Amino acid sequence: MISELDEILEFYENEKLALETLIIELVAEREFKQAHIRQKALKKVNRQLFLLHNLKNPNYAEILELQQSLENLKKLDRGNPAMKNFFDSRKHPIELRLQQIEANVAIEQLDSQ
């Protein structure tokens, strides 16, 4: 059964996708003013999504930050093979923290059932 929060999240995810697609089309058609207006709307949708995800999972902000850190380290890793060990040593604690959060979330979900 889908909760109301999940339905709202799904609505905003669909709205985000529609706005992103529309912005790409508007830029391709050189409708920059309309694209700018839609970009402002997208910013509001992203803010709402962030708040709703935080309601669903209080660790969402930390998870997002850790995932972005991992992505950045992976990009740097690809660009500089000589530094691979250094970047791997930086990735490991981040991956451990992500696993720890996911385990805590799974336990909380089991406790709430």
| Tens-digit pLDDT profile for residues 25-38 | 999 999 999 999 99
Query: Domain limits at 43?
Result: 1-56
More confident residue, 90 or 83: 90
Tell me which residue of 35, 10, 7, 8 sits closest to 20, measured CA to CA.
35
Q: How many structural domains are present in the chain? A: 2
Q: Are residues 48 and 90 in the same domain?
A: no
Q: Are residues 5 and 48 in the same domain?
A: yes
Q: Are residues 62 and 34 in the same domain?
A: no
Of 37, 56, 75, the last residue of a domain is 56
Q: Tell me how far apart the alpha carbons of residues 94 and 99 are, in angstroms, rounded to a whole number.
A: 9
- Kindly report the pTM of this predicted structure: 0.73
Alpha helices in 29-83 (DSSP H): 32-56, 60-79
Residue 48, sorted as left (phi over 0), alpha (psi -120 to 50) or beta, turns out to be: alpha
Of 56, 79, 95, the last residue of a domain is 56
Q: Are residues 44 and 69 in the same domain?
A: no
Q: Are residues 1 and 48 in the same domain?
A: yes
Q: Are residues 1 and 26 in the same domain?
A: yes
Categorize the per-residue pLDDT at 24 as very low, low, confident or very high, splitting at 50, 70 and 90: very high
| Tens-digit pLDDT profile for residues 64-82 | 999 999 898 888 777 667 7
Of 56, 73, 93, the last residue of a domain is 56
